[in-house]
Amino acid sequence: MKKTALANLDAFNKETFRQDLIGWFEQEQRTLPWRQDQDPYKVWVSEIMLQQTRVDTVIPYFNRFIEQFPTIEALAEAEEDKVLKAWEGLGYYSRARNLQAAVREVHEHYGGRVPDNPKEISSLKGVGPYTAGAILSIAYGIPEPAVDGNVMRVLSRILSIWEDIAKPATRKIFEEAVRELISHENPSFFNQALMELGALICTPTSPSCLLCPVREHCHAFYEGKQSELPIKTKNKKQKDVQIAAVVLRDREGRYLIRKRPEKGLLANLWEFPNTEISLAFLHEKDQLAELIKEQYGAIIETAEMTGQIDHVFTHLTWHIHVYKGTLLSLEEERSDLKLVTEEELKEFAFPVSHQKMLKHVQEHK
């Protein structure tokens, strides 16, 4: 433990802090679908969905997911395409594939029981230090830290920790702080309360300190510096990528779609034929038809440009130049290519960018 960062713990009344924090949580916690019981599987699913994702966004996905895959066994035995379809629109799709891979591991090698110790649970795909601690504490009542962005923000203020929370190494400082502070009587509520406080009171901008149940324990509030914490360095600017994409239909009106590679961006999702292209060639229709032929073996009729869609990811922006065209023929049978009707299209998981593209072309007429 860094002594300088946690020096304030010495003069800190841990027991009243725990009582004030947990007491507030018992009164004020939101009713959420994953708080109905402590089923380790449901806690697990909720924690994966909540990674980098807002509670309001997750709620409907969680309800549908649990309805469709109610148990470890149900998810283990599902087709991956069904799981991705259930995740469609939620983002960070490797979470879904890692979750299913890990659930299959639990099904096959742990008798369907989610591990209850740090070593085994941390070995599961997609389960990092935060998620391991969250499941162990919430589902099993084990006093392990669950340090997420909320916890770092809340504790940086309470304990006056001025380390950069954007740096990976900083998380360890907060884990040590939680190990010192955590209630062994109720580690589940302690961890959840810290996060709930961050979500409802100790917010990133303009925290509601006058409503805060632990403001008397808060070093930043005492010094009036709550708006200066936490320290978080800025991200770099993202890249721009030009894409030419074409919504192709054959003479029977079926759409040509392709499954993306199993690694990388939007892995294993479906999409419309597209190619990265330099700005200089954007309006060369023959060039686009040639590239589509090379990459898809698809012979197409001169495509018509229908507009542009910009789609922002965390680390890059796609500028999608959208065309529509007719598929004349396919050179070979390929397992990553399918011709599907408009009705069948609904069964495949598409990234939001390609959903926008389809809508755009259908409204173009």
Partner DNA sequence: CATACGTGGCC
Partner DNA sequence: TGGCCAAGTAT
Give the residue numbers marked as catalytic: 47
The sign of the torsion formed by the CA atoms of 83, 88, 93, 95 equals negative
Residue 254 or 311 having the CB closest to DNA: 311
Q: How many residues bind DNA (CB under 7 A)?
A: 59
Tell me which of 59, 74, 231, 267 binds DNA, using CB under 7 A: 267
Tell me which of 25, 114, 131, 182 binds DNA, using CB under 7 A: 131
> Is the Cβ–Cβ distance between 150 and 143 less than 8 Å?
no
| Residue 227 φ then ψ, to 5° | -80, -10
Q: How far is the CB of 27 from DNA (least distance, A)?
A: 16
Tell me which of 168, 210, 333, 363 binds DNA, using CB under 7 A: 168
Q: Which stretch binds DNA (CB under 7 A): 75-83, 92-100, 177-185, 296-304?
A: 92-100
- Classify residue 268 as left (phi > 0), alpha (psi -120 to 50) or beta: left
Per-residue string for binding with DNA, 20-59, x by CB under 7 A? ------------x-------------xx--xxxxxxxx--
Beta bridge partners of 255: 249, 340
> Is the Cβ–Cβ distance between 355 and 309 less than 8 Å?
no
Q: Which stretch binds DNA (CB under 7 A): 9-17, 108-116, 165-173, 176-184?
A: 165-173
Q: Residues 6 or more apart from 70 whose CB is under 8 A from it?
A: none
Beta bridge partners of 248: 325
For residue 57, what are its two tokens?
């966004």
Longest dimension (CA), the chain: 77
DSSP string, 251-312: TT-PEEEEEPPSSSTTTT-EE--EEE--GGGTT-HHHHHHHHHHHH-EEEEEEEEEEEEEEE
Q: Does 182 bind DNA (CB under 7 A)?
A: no
Per-residue string for binding with DNA, 269-308, x by CB under 7 A? ----------------------------------------
- Count of all residues that appear for the chain in the document: 365
Q: Which stretch binds DNA (CB under 7 A): 17-25, 272-280, 311-319, 321-329?
A: 311-319
Q: Which stretch binds DNA (CB under 7 A): 4-12, 142-150, 288-296, 326-334?
A: 142-150
Q: How far is the CB of 46 from DNA (least distance, A)?
A: 6
Tell me which of 81, 92, 209, 282 binds DNA, using CB under 7 A: 92
Q: Which of 101, 109, 108 is nearest to 44 (CA)?
A: 101
Residue 220 or 298 having the CB closest to DNA: 220
Grouping H, G, I as helix, E, B as strand and the rest as coil, residue 213 is coil
Per-residue string for binding with DNA, 326-355, x by CB under 7 A? -------------------------xxx--
List residues binding DNA (CB under 7 A).
32, 46-47, 50-57, 89-94, 98, 125-132, 134, 148-150, 153, 167-169, 192, 195-196, 198-199, 203-204, 232, 234-237, 264-267, 311-316, 351-353
